[in-house]
Amino acid sequence: MNCKRISMAVCLFVVACGGEDPEPAAEPTAYKDMSFAERVVFMNDVVMPEMKEVFVAFDAKFEAMDCTTCHGQGVTDGTYAMPSAQIAPLPGTEEAFLEYVKDPEAARWSQFMFDEVMTRMAALLQVPTYNPETHAEGFSCSNCHTHTVEAP
């Protein structure tokens, strides 16, 4: 074993890390405090694997899920802006939504979205879910879906 080579590698490693003693494990950064680059890493390492599991449990077609499933065009243009117009838009009023979920497939998807997708995603982002009384700005369907505009 070449000890000189090893200490050289350690030296390079320490220099690359700024020559400081390693800091004690810090609290993971909350999503809201992350830089854009940190958000990319977080989406790759945490959101994608967890949400894919959730979606695949509902429908095996989501084995092919990737960033585009949620971000659509935002992947191509690099903004990752949400909500995404490439996810099916939802009806824009309560009455229209109630009409929409009379269709059993729409109802089945909406139930899954409400029970699993919305809650898991909000938990990952460490934000409260929408509640008209306590968290009117909370995380909801509208963070991912756009809405079709309905005539009043």
Question: Applying CB under 6 A, which residues contact ligand HEC?
Answer: 36, 39-40, 43-44, 47-48, 51, 67, 69-71, 80, 82, 87-88, 90, 106, 109-110, 113-114, 117-118, 121, 125, 141, 143-145
17 vs 45, which CB is nearer to ligand HEC? 45
Q: How far is the CB of 121 from ligand HEC (least distance, A)?
A: 4
The residues pairing with 147 across neighbouring beta strands, listed in sequence order, are 90
The residues pairing with 91 across neighbouring beta strands, listed in sequence order, are 148
Nearest of 103, 148, 146, 144 to residue 124 by alpha carbon: 144
Q: How far is the CB of 55 from ligand HEC (least distance, A)?
A: 7
d(CA 142, CA 6) in angstroms, rounded, equals 54
Q: How far is the CB of 49 from ligand HEC (least distance, A)?
A: 9
96 vs 113, which CB is nearer to ligand HEC? 113
Nearest of 127, 151, 145 to residue 137 by alpha carbon: 127
Q: How far is the CB of 152 from ligand HEC (least distance, A)?
A: 21
Report the helix count and the strand count for the chain, using DSSP H and E: 8, 2
From the CA atom positions of the chain, what is the Rg in Å?
A: 21
Provide the residue count of the chain. 152
56 vs 67, which CB is nearer to ligand HEC? 67
135 vs 145, which CB is nearer to ligand HEC? 145
